[in-house]
Amino acid sequence: MKLTDEDLLEMYRLMLLTRHFEDKTEELLPTGKLFDFLHTCVGQEHVTVGAVYGLRKEDLVMPSLRGRGAFIAKGVPVKTILAVMFGKQVGATFPKECIHHLGVPELGILVGTGVIGSDIAKATGAALAAKIRGTKQVVLDFFGDGASNRGDFHESLNLAAIWKLPIVYICENNQTAMATPVSTSTSVEDIADRAGGYGIPGVVIRRNDVLAVHEAVQKAVQRAREGGGPTLIECKTYRWYPHAGPLSREKRSVEEIEGWKRKLGYPIEDFKKNLIEKAVLTEQMVEEIESKVDEEIEEAVEFAEKSPFPSPEEALKHVYA
């Protein structure tokens, strides 16, 4: 798919919406209103936007635990996401515990769990189901470098390769799983090299570049849709904020964090510069987009505050222990 100027502006807006939304949740955390873990994706916004942009509505997405960017890119309104994080009931939408348990079937978002790696197997199952149904749907499965060391990852890639399932595995290698650096937990320099062990293509994106992610994922989606089977795409990136909210124990120094930003690039800021140089974007348009994004987020806060908590009966439904 050739991207038009409108597409580029929309990708920029989605990345900004994701960044400002995540910043708002960090700001709200001390109020005690969020019933959720705060696994923010700041610094990684380009992965979900680049990958999800251009999918068909019926295509399926399994977000990672750091996955609010994927919800936003697939079209879930930020007011719904925030209300859920407040523990509120929004129509039929009310996850038990936290956003990891939120699926949005009408938008093709699969339900995750808090068990790292297990979602890779579920996404693979969804791809098998799509193949059996013959719907030509493709599944995008997002997960971290830590998850790629779980058995679920290896078993899933093997089966997906053998059965030529329509799935694209997207590893967001942000260099750390909680406090464990990838260099101490992973035996290969590039996680994408593991694709070779299953006879499928492995691709590495070495910079925080939304267009590079988009191009690689589009190619893999086309291959999957045409029956060519899975691809593993590794996006080298970096998590700018602590693992789960400002109180997480943080071993990384400011120098280290800033060094990685310089090395991999600044996903939103670099894209903005690129679009301004191409005369797709102007500083005035940036201001307008930012103010609309912030307005949308303020409306989301109001909506989340006003939405009702679920009734006790609703909260206990489907709870078996």
Ligand X SMILES: Cc1ncc(C[n+]2csc(CCOP(=O)(O)OP(=O)(O)O)c2C)c(N)n1
Q: Is 192 in the site for ligand X (CB under 6 A)?
A: no
Looking at beta carbons only, is 143 or 198 nearer to ligand X?
Answer: 143
Is residue 144 a contact residue for ligand X (CB under 6 A)? yes
The residue with its CB nearest to ligand X is 144
Residues 100-119 that bind ligand X (CB under 6 A): 114-117
Site membership for ligand X, residue 170 (CB under 6 A): no
| Nearer residue to ligand X within complex by CB, 8 or 73 | 73
Per-residue binder mask for ligand X (CB under 6 A), 247-286, x = binder: ----------------------------------------
User: From residue 45 to residue 84, what is the string marking binding to ligand X with x (rule CB under 6 A)?
Assistant: -------------------xxx------------------
Shortest CB 113 distance to ligand X, Å:
9
**Residue 32 Cα to chain centre, angstroms:** 25
Instruction: Name the residue nearer to ligand X (CB basis): 87 or 117.
Output: 117
The answer to whether residue 145 forms part of the interface with ligand X (CB under 6 A) is: yes
User: At closest approach, how far in Å is the CB of 230 from ligand X?
Assistant: 19
Contact 144, 174 (CB under 8 A): yes
**Between 78 and 170, whose beta carbon lies closer to ligand X?**
170
- State how far the Cα of 261 lies from the Cα of 100, in Å rounded to an integer: 27
| Binding stretches for ligand X (CB under 6 A) | 64-66, 114-117, 143-147, 174, 176-178
